[in-house]
Amino acid sequence: MARNTKHNDMKTIQYMGSKRDLMYFIEASLQAYGNEFEDFRLETLFDAFCGSGRVAHFFRKKYGIITNDKQSFTKVIMDAHLLNVSPLSFYEPFINELNALNIDDFDIWLSENRTDGWFTKNYSCDYNDGISIGEDGNPKIWLTHNAKKIDMIREKINEYFDSGKIDAIQKNVLLYSSILAINAVSNVIGHQNGYLKKWCTNAQRNLEIKMPDIDEQAIYEHCNYQGDIFDVMKLINHVDLAYFDPPYGTNNKNLVVATRYSSFYHLWNTFLDSKKNERPVLFGKAGKPLSTKGFTDPLEKNLKNVVMPKFIKLIEECNCDYVAISYSNKSLLTSYDMKKVFELAGCDMNTYRLYIHKHKSNSQNVTAKKEGLFINRGIEDEQLIEYFFLAKKKYSHQRITNPDVKGDVVENLLEVDDYLENTIEDYITPLHAPYIRIMDNTTAKLI
């Protein structure tokens, strides 16, 4: 399969679980499935856990795309890439003005209440001979001069919007361009669970917003949502393919919680939702919003009897013809567990296929593992394998999940409990199984 690198040339935030290096595997898997099943025809794709937007962006010129994620930064990124209809020249004077903001005027802005300096106060300090520790004893993510610029940029974009100079999509384009610029001067490896104790090279640069690399007109009609997945699915009439890239969890039983994405990328949400006089209460060394502490979405729990019912519910409640799920061999569920999910959710198991692909760990996953936030067990030395599950839904199915149970509530299923009680965990990739299709690591062709 010839690779069209332009498809995958997307500027976005660093993200744990990013599909940047897996897009051609996913594309080849869909093609292989279509070659096997002639009635597999795609015109619309629902990217239900859109994250940093790689999958939706990759397929934006092939299908009508619907995206969703509970993180506000995802919708901003996707609005910029999928819904923009303004010429790039429209944004040039705004970006020039944002870049020209003078931090020498910062105190004047404070006195005029044009900004409250919130990001500067909470997330910055001076260079201090290369040490990023603030007066409160905690590492900071931005140098003071860049944080002042961030405060001013955010309020200036609000002023553009409130005065009617830009509409909602244009505002999100400017916000998207801003978070890319902020990301480039942040004192982190990727996630925002903690900051480096010494200023990295990137953090010492001056913040500069660049012209966005986005389409000026979409080929297809696209739509972006932000919200709980089970609420959003009620708004979608029908799609050909629902693609789920849910939290993977970890096969380390000692961790009850695998990854809280709202916590790992809290600053993007805080920056985008920024409103004076409505600042979140912060806690911890990283200054995370208190709202990210405590509650864990069932899909982010590291318990099979909690996660499997939610996966089943996702498939049962999505109005689609086909279902695809990305996963890996070092995640919470085994490939056999996932097969059971498809079966219990009412998929035609004659159409069930699992495609696999060997690849390297995402750099943020490696870092999180070192920090004790994401740890493997049992198959530590086995090659990391990406899974791509795909099946057609049955037209008639007696659902087993309760439609009255909300998505944020744990649901117990007897069918899942019985399966787990009578199943021996096996995380070894089932290369012997007849439903496997193996994808080569370098060419993304079937072998």
In a domain, 114, yes or no: yes
In a domain, 287, yes or no: no
In a domain, 330, yes or no: yes
In a domain, 59, yes or no: yes
Among the candidates 204, 238, 268, a domain finishes at 204
Residues pairing with 355 in the sheet: 388, 437
The reply to whether 97 and 175 lie within a common domain is: yes
Q: What is the pTM of this model?
A: 0.91
The string of pLDDT tens digits covering residues 110-134 is 999 999 999 999 999 999 999 999 9
Q: Which domain holds residue 128?
A: 85-204
Q: Report how far residue 307's alpha carbon sits from residue 261's, in angstroms, rounded to the nearest whole number.
A: 16
- Buried/exposed 311-345: b ≥16 CB within 10 Å, e otherwise: bbbbbbbbebbbbbbbbbbbbbbbbbbbbbbbbbb
Token pair for 19:
């599909």
The reply to whether 223 and 190 lie within a common domain is: no
The reply to whether 48 and 110 lie within a common domain is: no
The string of pLDDT tens digits covering residues 230-252 is 999 999 999 999 999 998 888 77
The reply to whether 410 and 430 lie within a common domain is: yes
Instruction: Give DSSP secondary structure letters for 139-193.
Output: B-SEEHHHHHHHHHHHHHHHHHHHTTSS-HHHHHHHHHHHHHHHHTT-SSSSSSS
Confidence grade of residue 379 (pLDDT, cut at 50, 70, 90): low
The reply to whether 73 and 90 lie within a common domain is: no
The reply to whether 231 and 377 lie within a common domain is: yes
Q: Enumerate residues 6+ apart whose C-beta is below 8 A from 121.
A: none
The string of pLDDT tens digits covering residues 238-287 is 999 999 999 888 877 777 665 677 888 999 999 998 776 689 999 999 99
The reply to whether 16 and 150 lie within a common domain is: no
In a domain, 154, yes or no: yes
CATH for 348: 3.40.50.150
The reply to whether 328 and 345 lie within a common domain is: yes
The reply to whether 179 and 124 lie within a common domain is: yes
Q: How many domains does the chain have?
A: 2
Cβ(394)–Cβ(345) below 8 Å: no
The reply to whether 336 and 358 lie within a common domain is: yes
Cβ(258)–Cβ(300) below 8 Å: yes
Instruction: Give DSSP secondary structure letters for 282-333.
Output: EETTTTEEGGGSS---GGGBS-HHHHHHHHHHHHHHS-EEEEEEEEETTSSS
